[in-house]
Amino acid sequence: MPSRRVLWTVAGWHRWLFVSDDGKSVVAGYGGMNLVPVDVTLKERVLFFYNRGKLVRSVTLGDLYKHKSQLRRTVSHYAWANGGEFNKANQFLLTLPYGRRIAFSAKTGRIEREVKDDT
């Protein structure tokens, strides 16, 4: 018989949210989704990794880029990402402008590798 017991929650409202297939990990993205203001600093937190409702790591722009000039300029903002998804290995794959892809551990939020193919 199904239980109606809440297993865990993530506080707040999130516009950009990715849930892993195992139902234990969630990645919340920046409130402006893939766009940040032009006056942003590399200290801006853009990804929030949760495991069973507990924040395990925040990723800043500085974790992804060495210089702000690497961000792609739009008419009014900078695009810092093109999208994200979970793969079959339960890694969060983040696609950056210009095609760079990074795989993060869903459980720890740590970068595991750069992705060279679609795995």
Quote the CA–CA distance of 3 and 45 in Å, as a whole number: 35
- How confident is the model over 23-40, as a mean pLDDT? 95
Provide the percentage of residues in the chain whose pLDDT is more than 70. Answer: 97
**Mean pLDDT to the nearest integer, 60-81:** 95
- In this prediction, residue 118 carries a pLDDT of 56
For residue 68, give the nearest of 78, 82, 58 by alpha carbon: 78
> Is the model's pLDDT at 119 over the cut of 90?
no
Is the pLDDT reported for residue 1 higher than 70?
no
Q: Please compute the mean of the pLDDT values over residues 79-99 and round it to a whole number.
A: 93
- When pLDDT is averaged across residues 52-57 and rounded to a whole number, the result is 96
Quote the tokens at residue 15: 């516009």
Return the ∠ at Cα 86 (arms to 47 and 102), rounded to 5°.
60
Beta bridge partners of 83: 95
Q: What is the β-pairing status of strands 83-86 and 25-29?
A: unpaired
**Beta carbons of 78 and 58 less than 8 angstroms apart:** no
Strand pairing report for 83-86 and 77-79: unpaired
Residue 77 has pLDDT above 90, yes or no: yes
Q: How many whole angstroms from its chain centre is CA 42? A: 15
- pLDDT of 117 reads 64
Domain ranges (residues) in the chain: 17-114
Q: Pairing state of beta strands 25-29 and 17-19?
A: antiparallel
pLDDT of residue 115: 80
